[in-house]
Structure 1
Amino acid sequence: MQAGQKLPDVTFRTRVRDEAVGGPNPYRWQDMTTADYFAGKRAILFSLPGAFTPTCSTYQLPGFENNFAAFQALGVDAIYCMSVNDSFVMNQWAKAQGIENVIVIPDGSGEFTRRVGMLVRKDNLGFGLRSWRYAAIIDNGVVEAWFEEPGIADNHGEDPYGESSPETLLAYLEDAAKGAAA
């Protein structure tokens, strides 16, 4: 993906809390589309190899969560975290991380990830198909800026992290704000 490209139209199978369901697991299925998440918003989307994994849980997700107010001050309406994991896993990971501001999006089948060109094999780690690490600023469903870790490849021996970090996106947005003010 690159600046100016429209996100692919994909339907995500999510589980949402609904007290009307009752019982110990009050969740129901709810289909959400790309448009449901991104239409009419300026948002950050970041994607990572897997929920509960070290870099994702220690740096990337908490970094976006902890900087939510700073992103809002720079014109971001929403922050979304995507992974090729199912909704059950993504919801439990968000709960375990104490996430209140970042919204998790399950790309369980990897369809969105495939269509943006970021689906890679991670069989060397026992993961199967997963997302390469990236982040983007999306304005009303169109890519404003794209940040991709270098070296995209199947079964990559490392997990590069830096280009898709919250710090990188904050710096980009701060520079853009300074340029607009000049």
Structure 2
Amino acid sequence: MTISIGDRLPDTTIKKASPKGAEDIATGDFFAGRRIVLIGVPGAFTPTCSNDHVPGFIENYDALRTRGIDAVAVLSVNDHHVMAAWARFLGAEDRLVFLADGNGSFTRALGLDIDLSKAGLGTRCRRFSMLVDNGIVRELNIEEKPGQAVTSGAARILEQVEFQES
């Protein structure tokens, strides 16, 4: 079952990629007491993810922070080495938090997994964005069309965060 607005995020352990290596984090602890925008992507270095989806959040990072967002995190079913390299490639190490869900356990617990085996990618994360407040999903935007980042893009979540602030 797919997570919904009003649901608490599942508590599992994933890895946070950093220049110093991987750090195990409990999702319950990571999201506790903070407002976080969580972005889910099918894969690091993939065209839509690298050229459109994540760059929109990098460009709008300061605007999100001024609206009370404590962190912007990117989740993918990739290992922490790939996520750290992708953060460096995008020049986003000092802005976004890159979360590696290597075996997809968090993604499956969210109900946001997708089988992309036909494309040779195996099980991945659906493209989404969500606003999480103290571990509770307040907004959820799941992209329905492959290769696009409109519904789940930075412009959409900016509108929602602004609305939340009003």
Whether TM exceeds 0.5 here: the answer is yes
Instruction: Give the total of aligned pairs.
Output: 163
Q: Quick one: which amino acid aligns to residue 6 of structure 1?
A: R
2:6 corresponds to which of 4, 7, 11: 4
Return the offset for 1:65: 1.0
> CA separation in 2, counterparts of 1:5 and 1:85?
25
Residues 129, 70 of structure 1: CA spacing in aligned structure 2 closer, same or farther, 3 A cutoff?
same
Q: Quick one: which amino acid aligns to residue 67 of structure 1?
A: N
> CA separation in 2, counterparts of 1:110 and 1:132?
11
Give 1:92-131 correspondences, 5 Å limit: 92-99=85-92, 100-131=94-125
Residues 111, 77 of structure 1: CA spacing in aligned structure 2 closer, same or farther, 3 A cutoff?
same
State the match for 1:70 in structure 2. 63
State the match for 1:169 in structure 2. 157
Return the offset for 1:168: 0.5
Q: Quick one: which amino acid aligns to residue 137 of structure 2?
A: V
Q: CA RMSD in A?
A: 1.5
Specify the structure having the higher radius of gyration (Cα).
1
Give 1:84-95 correspondences, 5 Å limit: 84-95=77-88
Q: Quick one: which amino acid aligns to residue 152 of structure 2?
A: S
Structure-2-length-normalised TM-score: 0.92
Matched, 1:54 2:47: yes
Residues 70, 14 of structure 1: CA spacing in aligned structure 2 closer, same or farther, 3 A cutoff?
closer
Q: Deviations for 1:10-47, whole angstroms, at most 9, x for unmatched residues?
A: 101345444xxxxxxxx3x4311102321110000010
State the match for 1:21 in structure 2. none
Other structure's SS at 1:127 match: coil
Structure-1-length-normalised TM-score: 0.84
User: What percentage of residue pairs aligned between the two structures are identical?
Assistant: 36
> CA separation in 2, counterparts of 1:112 and 1:15?
16
> CA separation in 1, counterparts of 2:4 and 2:13?
22
Long gaps (5+) in structure 1: 19-26, 152-157
Q: Deviations for 1:76-105, whole angstroms, at most 9, x for unmatched residues?
A: 110000000000000000001100201000
> CA separation in 1, counterparts of 2:55 and 2:77?
19
Other structure's SS at 2:25 match: strand
Query: Do the aligned partners of 2:19 and 2:84 also contact (CA within 8 Å) in 1?
Result: no
State the match for 2:143 in structure 1. 149
